[in-house]
């Protein structure tokens, strides 16, 4: 099972993780990552733009690939779009698996792809000025681990 969502409004991660975990009694483990807008370096806001038909289809394909690769029971991906403020959640990835390693690796794999090989255009606002953000060298190094 997979649940992939694109949201234009703020979300509370616990409202997704609790039901996701409860839907899989007897599972071996759940691993969850929540990414938030950083409040360092004077970031005032972050904006993610996208083309919905391409973005959602790509996220669903990533979810299917992740489930298959790591033998998951289920995967949840929730991703925000639009303008977000420091401290607001951007992304939630939660994986349910019979064994912890599968869940941990699946979340890491999905996040590396969402960060470096995704369907979003990102910009941040600092000092009242918007600037586009490109993946960093570290992001490409992270994704290269997966072959």
Contact 94/107 with Cβ under 8 angstroms?
A: yes
Q: 101-110, pLDDT tens digit by residue?
A: 999 999 999 9
Q: 17-64, pLDDT tens digit by residue?
A: 999 998 887 778 999 999 999 887 789 999 999 988 899 999 999 999
Q: 85-130, pLDDT tens digit by residue?
A: 999 999 999 999 999 999 999 999 999 999 887 789 999 999 999 9
Q: If DSSP codes are grouped into helix, strand and coil, which group holds residue 122?
A: strand
Tell me which residue of 103, 85, 94, 112 sits closest to 33, measured CA to CA.
Answer: 94
Q: Distance of CA 4 to CAs 39, 47, 89, 147, Å?
A: 27, 20, 16, 24
Topology of domain 2-144 in CATH is Aldehyde Oxidoreductase; domain 3 (3.90.1170)
Residue spans per domain, the chain: 2-144
């Amino acid at each position: 099972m997979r649940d992939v969502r694109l949201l234009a409004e703020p979300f509370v991660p616990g409202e997704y993780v609790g039901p996701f975990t409860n839907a899989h009694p007897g599972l071996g483990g759940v691993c969850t990552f929540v990414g938030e807008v950083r409040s360092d370096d004077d970031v005032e806001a972050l904006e993610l733009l996208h083309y919905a038909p391409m973005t959602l289809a790509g996220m669903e394909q990533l979810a299917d690939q992740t489930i298959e690769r790591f033998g998951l029971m289920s995967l949840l991906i929730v991703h925000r779009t639009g303008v977000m403020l420091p401290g607001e959640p951007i992304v939630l990835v939660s994986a349910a698996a019979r064994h912890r390693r599968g869940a941990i690796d699946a979340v890491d794999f999905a996040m590396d792809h969402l960060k470096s090989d995704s369907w979003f255009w990102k910009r941040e606002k600092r000092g009242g000025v918007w600037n586009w953000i490109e993946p960093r060298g570290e992001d490409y190094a992270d994704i290269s681990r997966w072959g």
